[in-house]
Structure 1
Amino acid sequence: MAQLSLEDTRILAQNILRHHDFSEEQVAAIADVMVAGQRDECASHGLYRLLGCIATLNAGKVVPDAQPEIIDVAPALLKVDAKGGFSPLAFRRGLPLALEKARQNGLSAFAINHCVHFSALWVEIEDITAAGMVALACNPSHAWVAPAGGSKPLFGTNPFAFGWPRAGQLPFVFDFATSAIARGDIELHRREERPVPLGWGINDGGQPTTDAAAILSGAMLTFGGHKGSALSAMIELIAGPLIGDFTSAESKDWDHGAGALPYHGELIIILDPQRFLGDQATEHLARAEPLFTAMAQNGRLPSQRRYEARQRSQQQGITLPDTLYRDLLALLD
């Protein structure tokens, strides 16, 4: 295992992106998201994603110097056209106006269009809860996941994330794929030649398998059977046609076999407790705390593992498998 400080982790990500001619704004936004994933021990959304980012660039499927455009649609609605670039800079550009609209109206909807997407949604959710807001976010991806009862890919992994601010504490956040597992986790199992649990996916013949490579060429499964399938369909609709962007099937067609990262949109909804509750906001937000205490019957809340990992990484740095570290250094050649 290779050991790196968080600063060295950031420098490595930035150097690789600069080497491949990403603009400085894109470099900063992308590296911040990857370092956050690595710091919180979310390996499938950390530096590993650089491999996919550079492969997507080499396939001609992302614009490395894209300048996102903010489109002020309505009092509580805005869009940011990512112009074919990765999503983090588009989010960064649109967030201040989205927060302002939420403060004025009580809520705002923030759509990102025409973006290439690799990042975990919890990073964005934490930026919103840091402003004292409640937040939801979702997006499609590539058609990798079979609907309930099916055997052919139709849905994306279609993550959904939620965040709730907590006074004097880290926020309550969850972020999960509506597939049984994130695709990046299956890819990591394939790289390490490890079997996956039954229930993660099926082979191209529609049969259950523990072979990660067979799932990647077959289909992933939704979590919770028909319930996860319905949630995945909802995300296809509200973060696809509703915002004028691709479904997961359309993203896969657009890829046309290039093997690039997904190209689609994202929908973010922000709610301001102060506008909903006025002078009683502090009182009612505090009523959530007994709920969180009662939820922690298994010893932790969602995101608690990440927060503990964050503290370790800030003190000790991060570790990377030697094979991944060598593959990352090769991107500097």
Structure 2
Amino acid sequence: MAIMGHYCSIEHVRALCRNALQNVGASEIVAEVLARATCQAEVRGKRAVGISHLFDYLDSIRDGRLDPTAKPEISRVTDAIVVADARSGAAQVAFEMAYDEYAGAVRHSGIGMLNVVSSFTAGELGFYTRRLAGDGFLVIAGANSPALMTFGGSTGPTIGTNPLAFACPVDGRSVLAIDQASSQTAYVNVRSAAAQNASLPSGWAVDEFGIETDDPTAALRGALLPFGGYKGANIALLVELLAVMAGSNWSVDAPRFDRGSRSPGVGMFVISIDLASVGAELPDRIARHFERLGAEYGADLSAFDGKSDAVVDVVVDDVTYRRLANEAS
């Protein structure tokens, strides 16, 4: 059966998100930044961290997991390293408040690192990498999450889904942007499958006894599986080491993002290289390389396009739209 949807301008959706956040006590900047991040994810097809994830923010504010008025503390600890303490608030807001200081550090040193500590889960990592790539940086970012995935043969959740993203400017197009989790799928996709009583594809998850399952309810009591077996788990470990460097919780110690009253207190890292310092020709070289891969080898690289912010309309399914409109009223 076809799912009915609402055709909405992205500005309308952003206004609904902003109003919904302010209705639960978010400060003006928290509401504005989270609404923008939500809409960017939705436009780019990252719906697991788009509008559907906004409801996690709202529930977490109500329950005390996410501080809606937190004021991040920004510290320039070396010429090239900036630490942003989110103080149990949104990682996106900490990033926003640290941006100018961090971008200045990258330009000063040619390379720089931002570490966001003690935050709620980071959402779509492309939100961070695309902006920096738009300012002429080659960027890699990662974040840890509460433990949701197996690691090293464990039967239960031991490490986060720990996404990794990178982006770079490309001449003649929007930025090259790649963003992926270390797990086979996002936790919210399993949660959605459970709500719809739908089966999971093979290789997504195990039950509480460590046995692979296609039952999403059993998977929610168990753990997600890494992509590529131990290789994906190794990437998740690297991301975690970098994400917790400035003192954030290990995934196994982080409170859940969808229940309880304590902040996950997880972390995020962003490493940027100023191409003006070392690779000013790279955006042109990437553009010519992509043209060659398409023309000579038939490679379709459209999925790597960060897409334009010029998108003006989105389709929101009826159930989600009604819930969002109700939260915003």
TM over 0.5, shorter chain: yes
Partner of 1:85: 89
TM-score where L is the length of structure 1: 0.90
Q: Secondary structure at the match of 1:326?
A: helix
What's the offset of the Cα at 1:190?
2.6
Partner of 2:286: 288
- Output the CA distance in 1 between the equivalents of 2:122 and 2:249: 15
Gaps of 5+ in 2: none
1:323 is matched with which residue: 292, 304, 319?
Answer: 319
Q: Which amino acid is the alignment partner of residue 303 of structure 1? A: F
- Output the CA distance in 1 between the equivalents of 2:301 and 2:314: 23
Q: Which amino acid is the alignment partner of residue 199 of structure 2? A: P
Could you say if the C-alpha distance between residues 187 and 256 of structure 1 is closer, same or farther in structure 2, counting changes exceeding 3 Å?
closer
Gaps of 5+ in 1: none
What's the offset of the Cα at 1:247?
1.2
Partner of 1:143: 147
Which stretch has the larger CA shift, 290-299 or 40-49?
Answer: 290-299
Q: Does 1:303 align with 2:304?
A: yes
Higher helix share: 1
What's the offset of the Cα at 1:255?
6.7
- Correspondence list, 1:101-112, <5 A: 101-112=105-116
- Output the CA distance in 2 between the equivalents of 1:78 and 1:324: 38
- Output the CA distance in 2 between the equivalents of 1:301 and 1:3: 24
Partner of 2:196: 192
Q: Does 1:249 align with 2:284?
A: no
Q: Secondary structure at the match of 2:88?
A: coil
Percent identity over the alignment is 24
What's the offset of the Cα at 1:40?
1.7
Q: Secondary structure at the match of 1:136?
A: strand
The list of structure 1 runs, each at least 4 consecutive aligned residues, that deviate by more than 4 angstroms after superposition, is 254-257
1:70 is matched with which residue: 74, 89, 92?
Answer: 74
Q: Does 1:120 align with 2:124?
A: yes
Q: Secondary structure at the match of 1:287?
A: helix
Q: Secondary structure at the match of 1:185?
A: helix
Which stretch has the larger CA shift, 293-302 or 23-32?
Answer: 293-302
- Correspondence list, 1:223-238, <5 A: 223-238=227-242
CA contact (8 A) 2:120 2:264 kept: yes
Q: Which amino acid is the alignment partner of residue 62 of structure 1? A: L
Q: Which amino acid is the alignment partner of residue 325 of structure 1? A: Y
1:46 is matched with which residue: 40, 47, 50?
Answer: 50
- Output the CA distance in 1 between the equivalents of 2:33 and 2:259: 27
1:34 is matched with which residue: 31, 38, 41?
Answer: 38
TM-score where L is the length of structure 2: 0.91
Q: Which amino acid is the alignment partner of residue 248 of structure 2? A: D
- Output the CA distance in 2 between the equivalents of 1:238 and 1:12: 35
Deviation digits for residues 125-184 of structure 1 (CA, Å, limit 9, x no counterpart): 110001010001001101010014332111101000011111231111111001111222
- Output the CA distance in 1 between the equivalents of 2:324 and 2:248: 32
CA contact (8 A) 2:65 2:262 kept: yes
